[in-house]
Amino acid sequence: MKANNKRQHIVAGNWKMNKTFQEADELIDNLMTELENNDIADTKVIICPPAIYLEMASDMAEESYFMVGAQNVNENESGAYTGEISAAMLEALELEYCIVGHSERRAYYHETDAIVAKKVDALLKHNIKPIVCCGEVLEEREANRHFDVIKRQIQEGLFHLTAEEFANVVIAYEPVWAIGTGKTATPEQAQEIHAYIRGLIAEKYGAEVADTTSILYGGSCKPGNAKELFAKPDVDGGLIGGACLKADDFMAIIKAF
């Protein structure tokens, strides 16, 4: 394990739109067994299942070593927003985390940095920690604009917060070109961006806040590459997609620290 006493190691699993109710129950049960049989005291484990399984997952979490987060939230407090879920509803389930600004939400549902900022505000108002995603698409990486894209997303989505508010934020860097493609940023590429993000935070809020902010890697992290990625000094864990849908694969990543 790398030496870093300032930041929390986090492995979060984003199930996306997968698993029937029975499959979800079985996956969580298998994960609970794995967690019981392994020492993961230094790593915070979060699962983010589809919304209809959040209550079940939250109940099961009371008897295990994982926390539960949502995959999305509406930026409005309440109202006529059919099919949406508010931060107050998530708070009522005693959830501690929620993913915001995932590249799929940005691409398929046209979420802007301004919407991400409003969602962050809604979550913090209801004592839920946002896991805020940022990252560039392949064209932006090839055009050498990835730093500009990351800077804009961080500044417009988060830098309206006070230092005290920002202390409750987790950031996930997801190179969009590496999500679900089988491609992965090299550990060096991941470290470069993570260090850049930490530098932006230091410029805005100071070194202490930057040094205590957990920054996760979210681009095709798997059991085979997690250890090398997590060994980098500014990579504090992972936001895991496909590999979190099997308890043994997810556990292998959790144990990579």
Distance CA 211, CA 98 (A): 22
H or E, element range at 130: strand 129-134
The residues assigned a catalytic role are 102, 174
Distance CA 246, CA 119 (A): 30
φ/ψ of 95, rounded to 5, equals: -75, 150
DSSP line for 65-101: SEEEEES---SSSSSS-TT---HHHHHHTT--EEEES
Handedness of CA 175, 125, 109, 17 (dihedral sign): positive
